[in-house]
Amino acid sequence: MTDASPPVRALTPESRGEAPGRGRLAGRRILVVGGGQRTLDAASDPVGNGRAMALLFGREGAGVAVADLNLASAAETAARIEAAGGRAFAIRADIAVPDEVARMVGEAAAGLGGLDGLVLNVGIGVGAHGLAGATADDWDKVLAVNLRGPMLACKAALPVLADGAAIVFISSIAGAVAGSRLPAYDASKAALGGLMRHVALEGARRGIRANIVMPGLVDTPLGRLATQGRPARGRTAVPFGRQATGWEIAYAALFLVSDESVYVTAQTLAVDGGLTGIS
């Protein structure tokens, strides 16, 4: 008789955000969109994906422009980077507003003296569950943030990105398998693949790469909030026996934004503990 519970994948120093920097992004200039994070319980909140990425990029030597709808949260991320000896500043921007997207990219490029990387960590899911609960307004609101916003950011960034730069979209396994029960969210994340491939095509002549990181279940404040609304999410059997940490998503993004992935473009990297491959 075997135990039906999967073994729990051990947390490494990287998983906990405790590994030292290795200079993997020395001299790079990166805009992280969605680099703040939601506060659910300030005393116990784990790090969110966007904040983990911004902190990690700073630790690895990059100058980081941290953009977020919540300026205070973006500023906290930037302050943590600076406290650790890095260079960072915060930008407030609503990616659903076209003029603000263009301003955000311009401010990031001006403040950093150029751009070598763009990471788009944005996504909302609103409305009731199922098609019966979907409305046209909710659909438009979700796609404005999750799909149109990244398109506008890439449109603004491509002319100012340095040759050989990298763009990383943060998607979700909801774009590959049904499960969130929010049709607009699932559709928007699936559509990111088409946008990413087009951006990779346009950037190829200048060596600009575009790829997707596709997280599975991640223990972040936003993830905990989603589990409160849909408790079954927390009971999902993950082959690795636990949800990911925000740091584990950040290290995947680090690989794709660095020259370690210099020959990788137009690809999707699932960081899901095996959910889409072996469960």
Percent of the chain with pLDDT over 90: 77
Per the structure, the complete domain to which residue 72 belongs is given by 29-271
For the chain, how many structural domains are there in total?
1
Q: Say how far residue 219 (Cα) sits from the centre of its chain.
A: 14
pTM for this one?
A: 0.93
pLDDT digits (tens, 9 = 90+) for 80-134: 999 999 999 999 999 999 999 999 999 999 999 999 999 999 999 888 888 999 9
In-domain check, residue 123: yes
Average pLDDT over residues 263-278: 93
266 located within any domain? yes
Please check whether residue 17 lies inside any domain of the structure: no
Does some domain include residue 10?
Answer: no
pLDDT in tens, 195-211: 999 999 999 999 999 99
pLDDT at 222 over 90: no
Structure confidence at residue 231 as a pLDDT band (50, 70, 90): confident
> What's the CATH code of the domain at 106?
3.40.50.720
Q: For residue 1, what pLDDT is reported?
A: 38
Residue 252 lies in a domain: yes
Domain membership of residue 13 (yes or no) is no
Rounded to an integer, the average pLDDT of 39-60 is 92
pLDDT for res 3 = 53
Cβ neighbour number for residue 162 with a 10 Å cutoff = 15
User: What number is the average pLDDT over the span 253-270?
Assistant: 98
Specify if 113 maps to a domain: yes
pLDDT tens digits for 53-78? Answer: 999 999 999 999 999 999 999 999 99
Active-site residue identified among 57, 89, 169, 185: 185
What local confidence, expressed as pLDDT, does residue 279 receive?
Answer: 66
Confidence band, pLDDT 50/70/90 cuts, at residue 2? very low
Q: 168 in a domain, yes or no? A: yes
Instruction: Give residue 4's pLDDT.
Output: 63
Active site residue 263: no
Mean predicted lDDT score pLDDT of the chain: 93
| Bridge partners of residue 30, in order along the sequence | 64, 117
Tokens 């609101």 label which residue?
141
Beta strand pairing call for 161-170 and 115-120:
parallel
Pick the residue with more confidence: 115 or 42? 115
